[in-house]
Chains A and B, each alone.
Chain A
Amino acid sequence: DVVMTQSPLSLPVTLGQPASISCRSSQSLVYSNGNTYLYWFQQRPGQSPRRLIYKVSNRDSGVPDRFSGSGSGTDFTLRISRVEAEDVGVYYCMQGTHWPPTFGGGTKVEIK
């Protein structure tokens, strides 16, 4: 299985400051059709995961533009330009290029 490694495990951030989460895969996530199937999910406390970003850098409808995704190959990043209180939660990357789909271990974003 493709191993997805996220860092850091925990990310204390001051309100209004930027945050960055890294996700690295054990194999390239570029599919044979040229697409890269790397997704980001947010899980707020006590809630179900919510898709934020699809195919590396596309924001879902309703996702604030302070969230952005980037990367290629095996190295990906989720950035929050200015952290707000509602951003607290655990963020997961997930790959859908290789079978079976696999998740990263999660990064917990908390307010300092």
Chain B
Amino acid sequence: QLQLQESGPGLVKPSETLSLTCSVSGGSISSSSYYWGWIRQPPGKGLEFIGAISYSGNTFYNPSLKSRVTISVDTSKNQFSLRLSSVTDADTAVYYCARRAGSSWADFDYWGQGSLVTVSS
């Protein structure tokens, strides 16, 4: 059974960079069939797609966040990572990593449990 687990600091200061890692177990991240994505959910609010990456490093970012987002992959560790720069309190959210299957950018079939990141000084 595929499992995804987010990890990283739960508190980030304004203007600094948020960094999270998603560890994948029960399957290989090095499959051409899948992409690996990040989605976030501010407290009490809805879901927002951040971006995704293929095992070979092709990245796809939501234009609304593109200037601040970097997603990378480390196939040797079966992990992928998110960096979001110049954070403000609007970036406070639960950040989920997820696997995109199929041929659609909405086709997220496995999700991590989520990691709450609070932006505060």
Contacts and interface: CB of A to CB of B under 8 A. Distances in A.
Interface of A: 1, 35, 37-39, 41, 47-51, 54-55, 60, 92, 94-97, 99-106
Given A48-B111, A48-B114, A49-B96, A101 B64 contact: no
B49 A100 contact: yes
The A interface is mostly helix, strand or loop, or mixed, namely loop
A1 B49 CA distance: 12
A51 B104 CA distance: 13
Given A49-B47, A102-B49, A54 B107 contact: yes
B62 to A, nearest CB: 4
A92 B107 contact: no
Interface string B46-66: 111100000000000011100
A100 B64 contact: yes
B46 A104 contact: yes
